[in-house]
Structure 1
Amino acid sequence: MIRVADLPATHPGRRLLTKRTPFFVAPSEPRCSYCVYVPTGWTPETRLSVVVAVHGTGRNVGELREGFIPFAQRHNVIVVTPLFPVGIGDPDDVHNYKFMDARGIRFDLVLLDILEQVRLRWNADVDPVLLCGHSGGGQFAHRFLYLHPDRVAAVAVSAPGSVTLLDDSLAWPEGIGDTRQRFAITVDLEAVARVPVLLVVGGDDDGRADLAAMGHPGHSRPERLDRLAESLNLQGIAVKKVVVPGVGHSAAGTRPQIVDFFTNLLADNA
């Protein structure tokens, strides 16, 4: 694999591998892929931090990456946006990645392999990363936190349709009671508690009808976020919860709160 630093400054490959990159195959799972935004302030000698933004069910990865470009430019960070496609092993499976494993694929490990490639190609600091996701991406983000708290500096969870509680009396994905058998990982609550968490949802994002149609009746998205917040708080985890007035189920609508959350963390750690 060519590192960007291996290319002369005038090589056309530099243009391909900086700013908006093409999609790359995920190294351990070629049915998945990722693209990157590398800010114009990048140099081979700089070791930039990384933001991972995970898509929702609609897989609108292009819009997702574009939405974080101003943040990347302002703070000189690299944006990584994985693509976990619909239909792996089942042409109608839109949920696969949200629960970390499906049909023999460990999507958390796919992301870790992607980050290792990002580290090598761009000399990036991927340990830990800032992680965020909206809707299905929010499901992925908080579950990834449970399994790999040492790999994330902060997590922003936006409007998930289902949540996993830190309850070892419930099996995955409702709780964490069987993660040792399922993932060979026991959730380290002390490590999870060290990670700042933002929970955000639009004030108009009820979602009750959609969730009921998908077989999950009984709770709106704000109610599900409240359940997650309560579960995290019971374990002493610092949670910031934000409800954005006038916003429905919109990644763009909750992104400003995520950007502010990450901006403040970067300023605190400067």
Structure 2
Amino acid sequence: MARRIKISSGVLNVRLHPHPEGIYGEFIEAIYQLRRPVRIRGDRYAMLSLLSRTEANDGIYTGLITTFTKIDTTEPWFDTDNLKEASEKDISRISIPDSLHPNATSFHFLFDARRHRFYVQTYSKGRTLSVRSAQRMLGGLAADLAITRRFNEAVIDIVQSKAGLEAVFALTVIKRVTVTLTKPNADVFDDDFDENIEGFLEELHSKKLTLIVEAEPRQSITPNEGLRRVSRSALEHGSVKTEGRDEQGATQRSTDDYPEDLHDKYDPDAVSETHAFRQLTGR
């Protein structure tokens, strides 16, 4: 039996305002057309290197994110043979085209334009791309002047897990709960809670609402259904933080530390990595 290979994905919630029909498909096409690398950490960059439109009529866009090392050739070079900084003569022999970058790795992505969810592969054959790095990449592309002029500001949040919310509420003593809600899209919900929040923020010309619940002296907050309902919305539209005590003493927890993690294993002799990722997303 072939060794089964790990595959995993994180999820980003991309929100535009206003958001008329078709706007998210136009958005992913526009940021792909930039053909621009974005620094995600240190000398590591990422870019959308492939976009497939074959399922665009169904609101599905697939493709690749490629990460690579971008060398700053203006910085000093080191000669490991002579154990000293390379000379100008040595450096003059180096010829690397500006468009070539080493240590490249590609990861699959799927963008569901109807639900404005961006699924990104976070593990591939021992290489990783954190969902936060994918958020930095998309955020950097969305902040391009050509994009903001056309789509206004894009809000890109990491979707957090329900298990993470339970962990946040599992403190022995909860003295404060802070729920942050950014302006959501109401069209993906079954009831009017998020629609009311969006209307409230719109009327105030605001993009964020922060709800703070504090315990009475010598009491602990007991999260009821109302607080949990607001908090569940924040898993896709913000974050939830608790402050209090556990067995170790004073502490705090945040759903930011519990991103949604889709993971599985697949047999490479039976299915391709592309197909395994698609199954993982459920799209």
Q: TM-score, normalised by structure 1?
A: 0.25
Which structure shows the bigger proportion of residues in strand conformation? 2
Which structure shows the bigger proportion of residues in helix conformation? 1
Q: Which structure has the higher relative contact order (CA within 8 Å, separation 6+)? A: 2
Q: TM-score, normalised by structure 2?
A: 0.24
